[in-house]
Amino acid sequence: MRDAAEYLGLSPHTLYVWRHRRQGPPNFRMGPRGRVMYRREALDAWIREQEQADSRSNPALNPLNAPRQERSYHLTGT
């Protein structure tokens, strides 16, 4: 887990918390002691997913690039 955290630029504690919240990159347990493992390919894919979900990296999600919507106002007389 330390290697995966270092690869992602995160603390091992952050990766631990995300794993227990079922967030973060996919992982699995291996061996009799159940060591938590991460595949490098899965880490890279997870990073790409995060980039695509972030409006700063994905222009399609940036609200400033959305088509302008006309607003209609309803005036009521009193």
**Given a cut of 90, is residue 55 above it in pLDDT?**
no
Please list the residues that pair with 36 across neighbouring strands: 29
Dist CA 16 CA 67 (whole Å) = 40
22 vs 60, more confident: 22
Residue 17: how many other CB atoms lie within 10 Å? 13
pTM: predicted TM-score of the whole model, two decimal places? 0.67
- pLDDT level of residue 24 (50, 70, 90 thresholds): very high
CA 59, 62, 66, 68 torsion: positive or negative?
Answer: negative
Up-side HSE of residue 72: CA atoms within 13 Å toward CB? 1
